[in-house]
Every structure is written in structure tokens, then in C-alpha cells.
Amino acid sequence: MVTTWVQVRELFTFIAAQGKGDYQVQRYKVLGEMSSEQLWQTTMDPKRGTLSQVKLEDFSETDAIFTMLMGDDDESRRKFIKDKALDVKSLDI
């Protein structure tokens, strides 16, 4: 049996649809794009959220990474994400 890219793509689409179930996926660049109800349901409700303490050990490195991730240099951001992708232990999506 020969598998084509079309079949692989259809299988991926099917699996993704099954995984979503009744969920609706939306993406926002900033919290200001959400309505107040969406903010409460996803971010502000203390019963749903997790509060984590973040410690900055090297401010200059942190600032450089933050500037690169939030800046206009798409290629640097893409490279950083690809380089670090396999090291992610917890991803909030």
C-alpha cells in the first residue's frame, strides 16, 4: 500500500478534530484582545489558574531573550523556539 501526503494530511486533520472534541481553539497575541468574560474564564479566575513564582537570575540575559521574543526579528524568534522546543517541560496552551 502506498501512502500519499494527502492521506497523511487527512489523517492528521481527523486526529486533530477528534482531539479537540467540543473545544473551540482561539489564539490571542495579548490579553487585551480577550473580552472580560474570556479573561476571567482563562486567566483571572483563581480556581482555574496557577500562580507561579518566577526568579530572574541573570537580568541582562532575561532582557535579551524577552526583547528577541517580543521584537520584530522573526527569524531569531523562530530559531530560538526551534532550538528550545524539546527542552519544554510544561507548556500552557
Helix and strand counts by DSSP (H, E) for the chain? 4, 0
Q: How high is the pLDDT of residue 1?
A: 62
Q: Alpha-carbon distance 76 to 92, whole Å?
A: 22
Q: How high is the pLDDT of residue 2?
A: 67
Q: How high is the pLDDT of residue 44?
A: 86
Cα distances from 52 to residues 4, 55, 62, in angstroms, run 45, 10, 17
Q: How high is the pLDDT of residue 93?
A: 59
Beta strand extents in the chain (DSSP E only): none
Domain boundaries, the chain: 24-87
Q: Alpha-carbon distance 93 to 91, whole Å?
A: 6
Q: Are 10 and 4 in contact (CB under 8 A)?
A: no
Q: Which amino acid is at 78?
A: R
Q: How high is the pLDDT of residue 92?
A: 65
Mean pLDDT, contiguous 10-residue spans, the chain (93 residues): 79 84 79 88 84 87 92 93 88 65
Coil, helix or strand at residue 1: coil
Q: How high is the pLDDT of residue 77?
A: 93
